[in-house]
Amino acid sequence: MGEEKTFYITTPIYYPSNKLHVGNSYTTVAADAIARFKRLTGYRVWFLTGTDEHGQKIQRQAEAAGKAPMAFVDEIVAWIKELWEELDIEYDDFIRTTEPRHKEKVARIFTHFHEQGDIYKGKYEGWYCTPCEAYWTERQLVDCKCPDCGRDVEMIAENAYFFRMSKYAGRLQDYIEAHPEFIQPVSRKNEMVNNFLKPGLEDLCVSRTSFDWGIPVPFDPEHVIYVWLDALSNYITALGYGEEGSLFETFWPADVQLIGKDILRFHTIYWPIFLMALDQPLPKTVFGHGWLMLQEGKMSKSRGNAIDPRILASRYSSDALRYFLLREIPFGQDGIFSLENFITRINTDLANDLGNLVSRTLTMAERYFDGVLPEPSSAGNSDAELRAVALATPAAVESYTDQLKISDALAELWKLVRRSNKYIDENMPWDLARDPAKEPRLGTVIYNLIESIRFIAVMLQPFMPRTPERIWQQIGLKDNSNLQSWPSLMTWGALKPGLVVERGEDLFPRLNLQAEIREMQGSQPADRDSGGGVEAEETEGLINLEQFQQVDLRVAKIVAAEKLPKADKLLKVEVEIGEDDLRQVVAGIAEHYRPEDLIGKQVLFVANLKPVKLRGVLSQGMLLAATTEDGRLALTTVDRDISSGSRVS
Ligand code: MSP
C-alpha cells in the first residue's frame, strides 16, 4: 500500500466581534474549495477554521453590549457556524480559543518558551492599537496612528513578558530566502523581508495586565497571554499538539495557510518564529490574499444587505455566491464586490453558459430520444475536439488549483462549458432531427453533450457543491458515485447508453439586474429620483433600462414563409427562437420580400408581444424592420450566424 497523501489547510480564526461580511467569507470559501478539491483527488484532508475570542477588543464590545464576554461571543459564533453551513463549508474542525483544549496547550507553550529562555519579564512602554491587538514603536506609527489600520493608538506602560524575536530573526530570513514557496504571492514576501526583517526585529511583548479576557500566564496570573500568541497557536492546538498519536503527527506542517494580506506580518514573522522556538517545521505555504472592496471603499457590516453573505446566499444560492467569489477575483489581488458584477456573473456564466448547456441538451434528449441516452455510433463534426478539450481540462484545473489560482481553474472549466455550447451550434441537432437518416448522428451529438456535462459536473463539485447534485439528478447519475469521481475523467465515453435523463428546473434562472439592485440596496433608478436627481422634464419621453429590458428581444431564424390569401401586404412567417420554440407571426412585409428569399434569415424579433389575430391568423411576436425614406422595408439582422433565440440587449 502506498503512503497516504495528506493535506492540511487552515483559515484565519475570525474575531467574533460582529457578524461577518462577504469579504470575510471569501477566505473560508476559497479554503473550502481547495479542501474539497484535494479530497476529490484522493488526499486525506484536514480543514480547520474557527474563532479568535480573547482580547481587549472583544471584552470592550461585550461590555458595550451589556453582556459577559462568553455570552457575547457565543451568540456570534453560533451565527458564524450557521453562515458556514449555508455556504457549504465542510470543515473538519472548528476551534474556539476559549475551549479548554486550546487554552491549556497555549499555557503550556508559554511556559515552555519561558523555561527555554525565549520569554523574559521586562517593562513595556509603547503604543498599542486595540482593534488590531498590535504593539507599535514610535518609529512605526504613521502620523501618530496605527500603520495597519490608521486608527488611534494608546500609550501603555506596564510590566510585561517579552519574546526574544531577535534570537530567531536571522534563521527566519534564511529560511524565507531558501523557500520561495513559503510566502505567497511572491510580492508579499519582499514586503515582509524588506519592511520587517531587514530593519531588525524588536522583541515582542507577549503579555498584558490591563484587561483579563484571555489565557492567564500560568506562573504569573496577573498577566494574560498576548492575543496573537494565543490565536496563532490554534493551528497546532486544534490538532492536539503535544499529545501522542494526535492529528498533529499526521498533518503538521500545514500545506496551505490562507490569510488576508493585512495579517501577513503575524503569520510570516511571529508564527514561524514561535514554531522555530517549539522546534517544529514551518507551514509549507502561507498565502496572503487580497481584499474584497466595495466601489466606495472598505466593507463594513453596516453597509447592508448587499454584503451580508447569508442574505446573498439565501437569495441567490450559495453556489452562485461561491462561484462569484472564486471566479471574479484573481486570488491574491484586491477585487471589487458589487451587486452589479455579481448579478452579471450569474447571468453570463451560470445562466447563459452552464444553465443553457444543460437545459438545451436535456430538452433535446427528451424530445428526440424520449429521455433515453442514445448510443454514440456516428462520429462527425468537432467530436474529436470536444473530447480533447474535455480530457485535457481536469489536469489544467488541478494544476491551477494546486497553485491556488482558483479563478484560472474555473476559467479553464468554463472553456469546456463554452466549447460544449459551441458544439451544439456547430452540429445543429434540430436540423439533424428533421432527417430520420441522420438519427445515429443526432444520437452521437446528444451522447457527447451529456458526457461533457458529466465531466463538467465532476469538476464543479469542489467549487459549487450543490449544482453537481442537481446535474446528476437530471442526467440519471444520482446514485453512481463511480461516474462522479475524479478518476472517471480519465476516460471519455464512460456513460452507459440507456440511462434515463430528465430535464429539471433551470439551474440558474436569469435575473433582472435593475430589479435586484433596487431590492437589495433599496435604491431608486435615477429617473424616479425626486430629490437631487435628474429633473423630470429632462427625462420626459425617455425610458429607463428596466423598461427597455421588459422587451424580450431575440434573434429568430425564419424557417417558413407564405403569402396570406387575400392580403397583399401580409406574409405568414414561421420563426425559430431556440430549438424547442417555434412562433408564427403575421408580418407586413409581403411587398418587400418574396417568401422564398426569407428562409434561413436571422432577424431581430420581439418575443413577448401579446398574441393577436390578424385576418384570423394568430401572430405571436413581431419581426423588426427599418423603413427607408421612400418607404421600403429592411429587416434587421445580425452580422454573423448565431444560435436562434439569442437574446438582444
Ligand atoms: N483574528 C484575527 C486572525 C487570527 S488568525 C490566527 C483576524 N480576524 S478578523 O476577523 O479581523 O479577520 C479575519 C480575516 O478576514 C483576515 O484574513 C482578513 O484579512 C479577512 N478580511 C477582512 N475583511 C476582508 C475583506 N474585505 N476582504 C477579504 N478579506 C477580508 O484578523
DSSP state of 535: -
Q: Of 266-280, 322-336, 347-361, which range is least confident?
A: 322-336
Across all residues in the chain, what is the average pLDDT? 91
Sheet with 571-576, strands from edge to edge, namely 582-587, 571-576, 553-563, 602-606, 622-623
H or E element at residue 635: strand 633-635
What 3-state DSSP class applies to 47?
A: strand
Q: Of 5-14, 81-90, 403-412, 589-598, which range is least confident?
A: 589-598
Rounded to 5°, the CA angle 47-50-53 comes to 160
pLDDT > 60? residue 531:
no
Query: Where do the domains of the chain lie, and which CATH numbers do they carry?
Result: 338-490 (1.10.730.10), 551-635 (2.40.50.140)
H or E element at residue 235: helix 234-237
How do 553-563 and 602-606 pair as beta strands? antiparallel
- Please tell me the residue having the least CA distance from ligand 1 atom 5: 12
Number of H helices, E strands in the chain: 24, 23
Atom of ligand 1 nearest to the CA of 14: 10
Per residue in 148-159, pLDDT tens?
A: 889 999 998 889
C-alpha of residue 309 to centroid of ligand 1, in Å: 15
Atom of ligand 1 nearest to the CA of 51: 1
Rounded to 5°, the CA angle 101-105-109 comes to 170
pLDDT > 60? residue 537:
no
Determine if ligand 1 sits within 6 Å of the CB of residue 27: yes
pLDDT at position 539 is 55
User: What is the DSSP annotation of 108-173?
Assistant: HHHHHHHHHTSEEEEEEEEEEETTTTEEE-GGG-BTTB-TTT--B-EEEEEEEEEE-THHHHHHHH
Determine if ligand 1 sits within 6 Å of the CB of residue 287: no
Determine if ligand 1 sits within 6 Å of the CB of residue 241: no
Distance CA 111, CA 113 (A): 5
Determine if ligand 1 sits within 6 Å of the CB of residue 625: no
Distance CA 76, CA 253 (A): 30
pLDDT band at 303 (very low <50, low <70, confident <90, very high): low
